[in-house]
Every structure is written in C-alpha cells, then in structure tokens.
Structure 1
Amino acid sequence: MPVNLKTLFKKKEKGEKITIVSTYDYWSAKLCDEVGIDCILVGDSLGTVIKGEKHTLSVTLEEVIYHTKCVMRGVKEAFVIADMPFMSYQVSLEKAVENCGRVIKETGANAVKLEGGEEIAEIVYRLRSIGIPVVGHIGFTPQSINVFGKPAVVGKRAEEAEKLRRDFKALEDAGAFMIVLESVPTSLTKELWEKSRSIVIGIGAGKFTDGQVLVFHDIVGLFEDFKPKFVRRYLEGAKLIKEALKNFKQDVLSGKFPSEEESYG
C-alpha cells in the first residue's frame, strides 16, 4: 500500500521509526521503494551530489521538477517529498504558493520541503490550507551556507537553542506535518521531539526522533568528496565501481572483451 500522511502518523503513534532517503533518479528511487523505504526526498543536495557544485544554491526549480519526475517513475509505494530550491519560495508569499503548486501539479510529489522557521510560517500555513503538505527544515540549513560559512552544529549556544525552539513551534503551529532537524545537539532534539505533534526527522541530530534521513549516495558510498560525521556508509560503492571499470578497461586492452559469446555470429 502507498505510504501517506495517515501511515506516517500511525508510525509515530506506535513508536515505529520512519526511514527517508534523499535521491534524484529513477533507478535509485526504485531500489529504495522495493526495500520499503518510507519516504524519498528529492533534495536540493543534487547540487553537490549530481551537479558537482560546492553548495546547493545553484539548483533551479526546473531541475527539482525534472529529478522529481524521474523519481516518481521509480516509485510505487514510497511517499515523495520535493525540496524547494533557494529563492523559489523566499521572494513572496504569492510566488511561494505558485512554485510549490507547480511542483506538486507537474511531478505528482506528495509534499514539499522548505528551509527556515518563523520567517516561513505564513507560507507553510497558506500551503497547508490549500492542500499542500509541508516538511519544515531547521538547524543547519544548507541554503543559508553564506550565513553559516560552513556546515555547523546549531543549537549549542543558548540563543541558538531558543531560536530553534521558536522555529519549531512556529512550523508546528503553521501546520508542517514533518520537521527535519539537521546538525542539532541530541539533548535539544530530544526536548523538541518529546513535546512534538509533528513528525520529527533527524540528520545529525541524534536518535531521539521519529526517524532518520540520509542521502542515497552516502549510504552506498558513491559520494566520496566529503563525509559528514553523521553519515554511515553501508557499502563502499565507489570502490566497487572503480574496480569494475578497471577490469573492463583491462579486458578491452587485452582482447578478452568481447568474447565469442558476447558477439553476434
């Protein structure tokens, strides 16, 4: 059965953890779906993972739509969330509604994700009121990299922790059904989670959450440019692939490929 909002909240109520994988194409989405991953996030992390950029700021609305369409073709049951890119929702309330509506309408995704807290609460409320489910994202927010300077833990200082509390409450009150906490101290995550009405998802925020999200290419070891502390690699995929490519090259150079069995008579 396809995963929906009721399914996800039932998991929260039962204390069953929710799994989310961020990925960007048909084949990886299909693999996630086939093993029962609950949600797939088409993240703007495609800027670094797919495009090879230093950050996510260059990702366009058209690119998110394109990659979300690819993901949707590989999914039968997972709940798909599309990440709204930088400046696709910050310009005005009207533009935010228009762009989020376009993503849902053109891709068939189940929800959108926005970065920010109090400052986007009105947008979240408007989207929710017209039937667009919203995922919030606070803590370290990659679209604010020019403010942070570099990836950092957010919430260690008292003023940061208090801002996160206000942001979390603002998003919940506005109707965000899910809130992602990125690079937040475990103790603060636990505090927010224990009082939460929304589904709380962690990435570098400790285990006191309703679930976890990681990038597909990190999980299987395909992305080697950098490895955040919170990433666990379950496969050294890049090493395996490079070994296969070396073997292919050697077989071509030595004349072992193609063989008679791999040729037409």
Structure 2
Amino acid sequence: MTTTRGLRDREEPITMLTAYDAQTAAVVDEAGIDVVLVGDSMGNTALGYDSTLPVTMADVRSRTAAVARAVEDALVVADMPFLSFGLEEAESVRNAGELLKEADADAVKIESGPHTVETTRRMTEVGIPVMAHLGLTPQHVNRLGGYTRQGTDEEAAAEILDLARAHEEAGAFALVLEHVPSNLAAAVTEALETPTIGIGAGADCDGQVLVVDDVIGLGEWSPPFSRQFGDVRGEMERAIEDYRDAVETGEFPGEEHAHVEEDLEDVYRPDDG
C-alpha cells in the first residue's frame, strides 16, 4: 500500500490521477496508480460547474468516501475546497480532520500560498498529512484573471521557490506544481527533498498528475499540457446510440434477455366469465 513516507523513497516517477466515484477509483487503483486525488476538479468534470469554486465540503466528503471504499493500494488524497481552509486555523484543521475521520482519506491537498504555511504546520502536527499545491491554483481564478501559466518572471518564480521551501519545512509530504515553466519546476524539484508532482510543469518533477477525464478522453476539451490516452467519450456515444437504435427497432430486449415463468400462465388467462 502506498504511504506518504513511501512516496519520498520511490525511485520511479510517482503516478497520480483524479477520481470522483468508486468505479473509476477501482480501475485507477487496479492499474497501479500510486495516488488517487479526489480533486475539487469534480466541480468542472462531475458536477457541471464552470469552476471549482462552488464545490463544498459535503461534495468532497461524499466522493472521497466512495473512492476510499473502492481503493486498496493507492494513497487517497482529498482536495480541500474553496473556503474550507485558510480563514481560521482551527476550522481548517477541523475540516481536514473530517476528511480523514469521516471519509477515510489518507491525506489532504490544499492550494497553497503564504497564508497556508502555518496551517500546513498545524495540520501536520496533529497528524494530518498535507500535500501542498503551488503555481496555478484554480481556486484563485478570480484573482489570477484566468487559468494562466504562473511563475513566468523572476519575482514570481522566486516566490514559488520560497513558498515550496516553506511548505516543505512546515511538513508537507509532497508538492503539486501546476502550469509553471518546466525550468522553474526543475529548480524547485532540485531544491526540495519533498517529492514534486507536476501538471503542466514539464518532465523534471518527481511525478505527474492529470485529471482522469482528460486521460481517458471523456470530456469535450482538455488543457494543452494534458494528453488523451483513450476515447471513452466516443465509445460511450457509440454504445448509447446502439442501445437507442436497438430499443427503437425492437431488437432489444430479445428472448434471451427475458424470462417466462410457466407457473404464472393461469394468472394471465382471459376471464371466461
């Protein structure tokens, strides 16, 4: 079984994928993926929102519990949704602890900044493993003005590096770097003992994460730094269209899909009276 400590000791690149339901989580786990992230990306992929901002603690708790019930070997990390952390330390710790106690997560991920260093430290002190997240942080989309690449000038890059070191010192067991220049991600990876997991951050991180819908080709669009390894959407469309046609033509259900109980024949005989 993958552990937070085990990620640091790995020689092979760390593999991480999102999952938001038991069936997907089981497939991801059986494929040997190291970390299953119950991401707040569920807002865009599973819940029909335009961003991650509307996702609630109840959403994450329910879906994390479903994923945890299906996973045997992978590390289950729950994303802390917008405004569930970073306001008051006690509330942040309580919310994170709830995901471990009630939803059976192994760890939490928080979109990080200067305000989350001490939160990370306190969570770690009370036994809550924390995965930090720097670079593009989608919960800050309104402040950032869109989903743009981060750390593209020297000042911004230095801030990301400083925050990465600060979160490592505070106890974060891993760090996601999203949509940053690959040379910046390489510099952060070189500077830390804590493993880095990239998404749109080049090949020099200690591991990679993608949204599972992008990997399997379920959505209509995926970001330029992603890659579709399958065409699940196309397969679903073909299967559903075939089902529709079979029902409309009377091909389905056939005799092999039904059962006739001979003992019930008398029940359906016309009334002789």
TM-score category by the smaller chain?
Answer: over 0.9
Q: Which residue of 1 is the match for residue 186 of structure 2?
A: 190
Matched, 1:253 2:248: yes
3-state secondary structure, aligned to 1:201: strand
Amino acid at match of 1:199: P
**Contact 2:86 2:119 survives alignment (8 Å):** no
Q: Which residue of 1 is the match for residue 234 of structure 2?
A: 239
**1:117, CA displacement in angstroms?**
2.5
State the TM-score, normalized to the length of structure 2: 0.93
RMSD: 0.9
**Contact 1:117 1:168 survives alignment (8 Å):** no
- Partner Cα distance (2:211, 2:222) in 1: 11
Residues 204-257 of structure 1 show CA distances to partners (whole Å, capped at 9, x for unaligned) of 000001100011111111111x31011110111111100111111111111111
Residue in structure 2 matching 1:123, options 101, 119, 139: 119
**1:5, CA displacement in angstroms?**
2.1
Residues 52-85 of structure 1 show CA distances to partners (whole Å, capped at 9, x for unaligned) of 1110000001110000000011101110000000
**1:119, CA displacement in angstroms?**
1.6
Amino acid at match of 2:95: N
- Partner Cα distance (1:117, 1:172) in 2: 13
Residues 133-164 of structure 1 show CA distances to partners (whole Å, capped at 9, x for unaligned) of 10000100000000112111101112211111
Q: Which residue of 1 is the match for residue 265 of structure 2?
A: none
**1:118, CA displacement in angstroms?**
2.1
Task: Say how many residue pairs are matched.
Answer: 260
Q: Which residue of 2 is the match for residue 7 of structure 1?
A: 6
3-state secondary structure, aligned to 1:107: coil
Q: Which residue of 2 is the match for residue 107 of structure 1?
A: 103
**Residue segments in structure 1 that go unaligned for 5+ positions in a row:** none
Matched, 1:138 2:137: no
Q: Which residue of 2 is the match for residue 58 of structure 1?
A: 54
**Contact 2:131 2:174 survives alignment (8 Å):** yes
- Partner Cα distance (2:80, 2:73) in 1: 22
**Residue segments in structure 2 that go unaligned for 5+ positions in a row:** 261-273
Residue in structure 1 matching 2:23, options 24, 27, 42: 27
Q: Which residue of 1 is the match for residue 203 of structure 2?
A: 207
State the TM-score, normalized to the length of structure 1: 0.96
